[in-house]
Amino acid sequence: MLMKSMLMPVMAQLVLTFVLLFWMSYLRVQAIRHGLVQPQAVSLREPNWPPRAMQIGNAFHNQLETPLIFYVLTLIALITGTADSILWVLSWMFVLARIAHAYVHVTSNRIDRRGPLFLIGATALCLMFIIIAARILIASE
């Protein structure tokens, strides 16, 4: 599998993360500039941001959790030569689930819709791990 093909879902995930990062930063700066929150009220990560800034911030922080596993699995697959079209599909499955999850998070924020999307992404990660681990174990015998 071409490295470029496996890195495209990684790049898409990174774009999502950066979009949320800059959106969160913009909302936080605006909240401080407009006096909606005092800097000392949030300096130790207290949850005193206005609700919209908090919502986008939570969506951003979600991109620093399970995607870490995705990045590691992708690197392991590339380094060990276990990457193939199955892992490519699972990678896109994970990333598309994360995009949909983030969309729900920044719009309706309905947990009954976010939960299944999270589960789809987590399932893709778990399958990626099982496939990569099995291929590494089989290759080492």
- At residue 141, does pLDDT exceed 80? no
* Whether the predicted pLDDT of 120 surpasses 70: yes
Look at residues 62, 127, 132, 124 and name the one whose alpha carbon lies nearest to residue 93.
124
Cβ-contact 6, 91 below 8 angstroms: yes
Question: What pLDDT is attached to residue 93?
Answer: 98
| 61: confidence class by pLDDT, cuts 50, 70, 90 | very high
How far is the C-alpha of 69 from the C-alpha of 36, rounded, in Å? Answer: 36
Give me the pLDDT at residue 45, please. 86
Q: How many CB atoms lie within 10 A of CB 127?
A: 16
| CATH architecture observed for domain 3-139 | Up-down Bundle (1.20)
Mean pLDDT value of segment 41-46: 90
Q: What does pLDDT average to over the chain?
A: 96
DSSP state letters, 73-139: HHHHHHHHT---HHHHHHHHHHHHHHHHHHHHHHTT--HHHHHHHHHHHHHHHHHHHHHHHHHHHHH
What is the per-residue pLDDT for 1? 61
Span of 19-23, 28-32, 38-42, 43-47 with lowest mean pLDDT: 43-47
d(CA 136, CA 37): 51
Q: Two tokens at 20?
A: 């949320």
- Indicate the domain borders of the chain: 3-139
> Can you give the pLDDT at residue 119?
98
CA distance 31 to 50: 7
